[in-house]
Amino acid sequence: MPNAVDLKRERRTLVGRMWDIQNQAEAESRDLTAEEEANWTAVETQVTALDKRIARQEALEREPAHDPEQRGFESRRVLETGSIPRGQRPLLYRALPEYKEAFYAWMLGGDAGLTAEQRQLLVAGRETRALATQALTAGGYFIDDTLQRAVEQAMSWYGGMLEMSSFMDTDDGADVSLPMSNDTTNAGRRLAENTVLTQTDPSIQLKTWRAYTYTSDLVLVPVQLIQDSVISVDDWLQSILAERIGRAQNTDFTLEAAPNGPQGLVPVTVVGRAAPTGQSTTIAADDLIFLEHAVNIAYRRGPGTGWMMHDQTLRDIRRLKDGDGQYLFQPGLTAGAPSTINGYPYVVNNDMATMAASARAVLFGKLSKYRIRRVRGIQFVRLSERYADALQVGFFAFARADGGLIDAGGNPIQHYANSAS
């Protein structure tokens, strides 16, 4: 007999058919045909019937088994054999009064509150392997056969720097340098007849990128968990380890000011607009215009130019209006079109400061002038032998990267600074 999970999976398939019918009609800008209406109604009837079956099945699965002899037999089998067939575990655990009593005792008093029999029952009933312990929340849940074959990850925005920066990918970590020249203060001159030329040499600088190493930290996983898990532990870990490195790099590329690391973007920008006294936690529409025009027009043209700010700052800017009562923030009206502020796209970077006294809250300019150097991308390492004596496998990721602003002297990116008071 199918369990509640199987029934829900069947329901999702049916609902998907309903969406297909609806999407087809919307794509053709029409209402449903008579045949489509009939198909929709037929599927909807099946979904309604399934909803009732699911409710009944879930009610049954919440209740203990009704055969006391069977309960006693299964309880004895847990204690005697120390294991339960994997497919029967979740339903069986709920059917054992002894297990519930032991679990409640453990919740109230920990291991010290358990009798020897209760301790044995809990250990046998769990049969979970965790990343480094037997705690369910550290991995033991992954061996439940009723799980969907995916993991829902908590999310927290950490991007920004990768969206509008430029990139330089290399196969090795040797220093990479770029010559920069600023000749903007020099101009040619009108020359009188028979006059000796004036010598005016351009200035040249060198910008260098190194290869700093980032690591995700080590995660140890018991072999048993890898073997028993219904999801791919390797794939799941690759995803979260890559995010760990992404968070670290975004913070450094945004804020780092130490000489032995990447050059953070915010610390090397100059003030384009200083807020007047009284605007320690706010920004005005005029401030955005002043900041925009503080950047030389040569850096305001073409792709790669835009705004960068914390999401809370964006919230406040979206509420700003011009003299005609029109919002400065203009959402994209077509698919794929970016939302803009004063006609320029923006990126959200929550490593930037929110608006506070003397905070550098908003950046504007040629954001693509910040260049990120990467060496062979993110590398994932699986240590199968090093921890074999403990039947564990080690996982970690590392990446080599650097970042810096290409500024030959024109200040291509500038910031808005809140007032100190």
pLDDT in tens, 218-231: 999 988 888 887 77
Count CA atoms closer than 13 A to 210's CA, side-chain side.
8
Question: How much is the average pLDDT of 334-362?
Answer: 87
- In eight-state DSSP terms, residue 323 is T
Question: What is the reported pLDDT for 84?
Answer: 42
Question: What is the reported pLDDT for 201?
Answer: 86
Question: What is the reported pLDDT for 212?
Answer: 96
Question: What is the reported pLDDT for 111?
Answer: 59
Highest mean pLDDT among 58-62, 108-112, 170-174: 170-174
- Contact (CB, 8 A) for 268 and 407: yes
Question: How much is the average pLDDT of 295-320?
Answer: 93
> For residues 96 and 166, which has the higher predicted lDDT (pLDDT)?
166
Whether the predicted pLDDT of 106 surpasses 90: no
The structural domains of the chain, with segments of one domain joined by +, span 4-62, 68-127, 159-179+205-421
Whether the predicted pLDDT of 152 surpasses 90: no
Mean pLDDT of the chain: 80
Question: How much is the average pLDDT of 237-248?
Answer: 92
Give the rounded percent of residues in the chain with a pLDDT score beyond 90. Answer: 40
Whether the predicted pLDDT of 15 surpasses 70: yes
Question: What is the reported pLDDT for 229?
Answer: 78
The total of other beta-carbon atoms located within 10 Å of residue 164's CB is 21
| 42-65 pLDDT tens trace | 888 888 888 888 888 777 766 544
> For residues 10 and 396, which has the higher predicted lDDT (pLDDT)?
396
Whether the predicted pLDDT of 328 surpasses 90: no
Give the rounded percent of residues in the chain with a pLDDT score beyond 70. Answer: 74
Whether the predicted pLDDT of 374 surpasses 50: yes
Q: What is the DSSP string of 82-135?
A: S---GGGHHHHHHT-HHHHHHHHHHHHHGGGG--HHHHHHHHHHH----SSSS-
Question: How much is the average pLDDT of 163-191?
Answer: 91
Whether the predicted pLDDT of 403 surpasses 90: yes
Least confident range of 12-21, 105-114, 194-203, 245-254: 105-114
Q: Taking Cα atoms as reference points, which of 357, 362, 274, 277 lies closest to residue 312?
A: 362
What is the distance between the alpha carbons of residues 216 and 377, in angstroms, rounded to a whole number? 14
Question: What is the reported pLDDT for 321?
Answer: 81
Buried b / exposed e along 352-390 (16+ C-beta atoms within 10 A): bbbbeeebbbbbbbbbbbbbbbbbeebebeeeeeebeee
Amino acid occupying residue 117: E
CATH number assigned to the domain with residue range 159-179+205-421, chosen from the 4 options 3.60.21, 3.90.1690, 3.40.720, 3.30.70: 3.90.1690
> For residues 110 and 17, which has the higher predicted lDDT (pLDDT)?
17
Question: How much is the average pLDDT of 90-102?
Answer: 49
Residue 232 pLDDT class (50, 70, 90 cuts): confident
* Opening angle at CA 231, ends 226 and 235, nearest 5: 80
Whether the predicted pLDDT of 390 surpasses 90: no
- In eight-state DSSP terms, residue 40 is H
Question: What is the reported pLDDT for 314?
Answer: 93
Question: What is the reported pLDDT for 80?
Answer: 44
Whether the predicted pLDDT of 154 surpasses 90: no
> For residues 358 and 326, which has the higher predicted lDDT (pLDDT)?
358
Question: What is the reported pLDDT for 68?
Answer: 43
Q: Taking Cα atoms as reference points, which of 364, 361, 171, 376 lies closest to residue 280?
A: 361
Residues in the chain: 421
